[in-house]
Structure 1
């Protein structure tokens, strides 16, 4: 009986470590600095194993599931309103490799996917202040990152030195992190076991660039989004890097359609003037 119990214990331990953990965060964002009453709230997931993690928006997962069903039904289940409802301000993923220390940011600019490795170390100052957040005993830490001052609350009760977005490097899981201006906040709401971490299959080519080149491309898009999208059809992109191969062709719209597109894009970008990273 003792031998059977030990075998059972061993199997149980293997099953536990074979599983991944999903940490579910509520993300609060004020993306329009001219209208601070416009507060956007979304749900995001941090899927983690002892080797790696990925942070992404819940709507991204729902959108990918919708597109999968569309492909399986040859477009019969296409519903434009569903896609509109799944538009998200968390239109990126952050992948961390704990073995190599690499922190990879993936996001779309216009029609194409870009990827870069974060090159700025996150230096924390751990403070003596403690607090009980939900069921966790937490301790406070602060850092300056990408133009914002951040305060984080981490717990050593969870054996993951990780957190939402690009935040990591504390001796425990980050339960809450917010910037000093109150523009962005990540709050842990739930944890659960999952079979494996989410794996997103990127459609089309993913352009791997340096972070500074990604910033340049993003600035070019914000300055003139329609011209940027048309220029991306060429063999070279802005900033001296190779442009990705766009999916399908993009015809030049007639003047009226172009003005409508420019107006719509300009309005969207105007309201999205307070990004999480200021520099």
Structure 2
């Protein structure tokens, strides 16, 4: 207990100093409601700073960094080809950003080629139980909620004084270190923590200047239109003169031309719509 208390002291101290704290979660989910034997695992990061948090895949952080570097290198050399063959591919591309202390929540996604920022209005409504347990050495307490079309069981650690948690979850008197829905379709479990110095500045997302802000109702309409033609925006961008900087891209060991990029993307996106339908936030994707 002495070792745990000392570690905890420095963890909490770092939250209010020149450092941010990264809480690393193992995320397990079943992407296809018709194939419940398939389970995907991805490590996710909740980076908590004094003004808010960002929840994102570890692999996406690496991918964004490498892609930004590749684009800078291409522009500096006057080329028109990007090689993404060695870039790790995240299974989860969505992000969630929260602002402190209001916990205003934004769900960031890119169904097509345009980044979307969805303002989430629904808030988790918790019922705190007296039941207690332990996760990663932390003493935790149980809470339940019906949120986003699912029933959830969460375990929070009062000794970590952050009312935050993975994805869109927050609002308990302590960090949510474990949460899963009753169907066991989606689960998050804290597996580690680490400090990040403030001089390791967070990179601005590559397409943040093009980000479209939508409320939940407008996103639902956008999603229904996207399902009808999932490469509409990509087709317009690639074939336009303004989108003509990149003429080819190497991906998964193959080099694609503009036309091939469009055709292959249309095929893969339509297949993805069939097999990735078990969304965490069911309310956001319903017709």
- For normalisation by structure 1, the TM-score amounts to 0.80
Distance 1:205 1:124, change over 3 A: same
- The aligned counterpart of 2:71 is 71
- The aligned counterpart of 2:217 is 212
Distance 1:14 1:41, change over 3 A: closer
- Taking the aligned partners of 2:94 and 2:56, their CA distance within structure 1 comes to 6
- The aligned counterpart of 1:81 is 85
Is the contact between residue 47 and residue 198 of structure 1 (CA under 8 Å) also seen in structure 2? Answer: no
Q: 173, 176, 179: which is aligned to 2:175?
A: 173
Unaligned stretches of 5+ residues in structure 1:
1-12, 234-244
**TM alignment of 1:193-204, pairs within 5 A:** 193-196=195-198, 198-203=202-207, 204=209
Distance 1:68 1:258, change over 3 A: closer
- The aligned counterpart of 1:248 is 243
Is the contact between residue 14 and residue 21 of structure 2 (CA under 8 Å) also seen in structure 1? Answer: no
**TM alignment of 1:1-279, pairs within 5 A:** 17-74=17-74, 78-83=82-87, 85-88=88-91, 90-196=92-198, 198-203=202-207, 204-227=209-232, 229-230=234-235, 248=243, 262-279=266-283
Is the contact between residue 57 and residue 90 of structure 2 (CA under 8 Å) also seen in structure 1? Answer: no
Distance 1:100 1:81, change over 3 A: same
Distance 1:178 1:81, change over 3 A: same
SS across alignment from 2:163? coil
Deviations 1:62-107, CA, capped at 9 Å, x for gaps: 1112113313432889433334x4142x212211111333111211
- Taking the aligned partners of 1:270 and 1:15, their CA distance within structure 2 comes to 42
- Taking the aligned partners of 1:262 and 1:53, their CA distance within structure 2 comes to 34
Which region of structure 1 is more displaced relative to structure 2, 165-174 or 92-101?
92-101
Q: CA deviation at 1:183?
A: 0.6
Distance 1:184 1:35, change over 3 A: same
Q: CA deviation at 1:246?
A: 11
Is the contact between residue 24 and residue 192 of structure 2 (CA under 8 Å) also seen in structure 1? Answer: yes
Q: CA deviation at 1:172?
A: 0.1
Q: CA RMSD in A?
A: 3.0
Unaligned stretches of 5+ residues in structure 2:
1-12, 248-257
Is the contact between residue 222 and residue 269 of structure 1 (CA under 8 Å) also seen in structure 2? Answer: yes
Distance 1:15 1:263, change over 3 A: closer
Deviations 1:32-63, CA, capped at 9 Å, x for gaps: 11211211100110011233111111121111
Is the contact between residue 62 and residue 86 of structure 1 (CA under 8 Å) also seen in structure 2? Answer: no
Count of matched residue positions in the alignment of Structure 1 and Structure 2: 252
- For normalisation by structure 2, the TM-score amounts to 0.78
- Taking the aligned partners of 1:247 and 1:102, their CA distance within structure 2 comes to 35
- Taking the aligned partners of 1:69 and 1:202, their CA distance within structure 2 comes to 10
Q: CA deviation at 1:139?
A: 0.4
Distance 1:246 1:109, change over 3 A: farther
